[in-house]
Amino acid sequence: MYNIFYCNLFKISNKLLDAELNTLPRFIQEQIKEKQNEDDRRRSLAGYMLARRYTAAFCNKKPEEIEFDFGEHGKPFVINGRVHYNISHCQNYVVLAVSEQPIGVDIEIVREFSALLAQKKFTEQEVEYIAAAGREGRSMQQAFYEIWTAKEAYLKFTGAGISGGLNALTLTAQNGRLYPENRAITLTYDQSIPGAVIAVVQNSDN
């Protein structure tokens, strides 16, 4: 079981984000400031804003009481609460997934994709899933990003990040749906944001 929260950066004022920055621990402030791109700084800050508010609510704490740290490959976690969270962002959207168990989330806006990239990064069955979508009148772009986000969400779930490689998760297709070959995990898709694919990965016993 998990909850999804998201925000649109276009609807958050710089004043609010600046105020949020000043409440974060110094090491997180420095991490955000080191990002060279202003949009990346805003996305990162908005992610922490969401994480503090909703992990605090989950733990029945005040937002300022939540303490963050990072795993070996940079996966964030809450030190002082029985809660897990993961953040993803794409363009102007920032998405947060919160759960009692380890979780990974990834968002992508559906747009054109590279067939060459799919051939290089995906298995034959995954590539066939995209092709089948085209033959059946479904969106091939949607199919591509269903696979891509599932793999990214899995890497974030394990904490390996991009170092784990997209082939760490293999997907099988049945009746036009994707399932992890590793049945120890579950893959679900959230439809909260029109025009986007949001994949969530958790342990299968949740």
Residue range 27-38, pLDDT digits in tens: 899 999 999 899
Burial grade of 27 (CB within 10 A; 0-12, 13-18, 19 or more): exposed
What value does the CA radius of gyration of the chain take, rounded to a whole number of Å?
18
Per-residue pLDDT, 56:
95
b/e 115-147 (16+ beta carbons within 10 angstroms → b): eeebeebbeeebbebbeebeeeeeebbebbbbb
- Answer whether residue 184 shows pLDDT above 80: yes
pTM for this model (two decimals)? 0.93
CA dihedral 131, 136, 137, 138 (to 10 degrees): -60
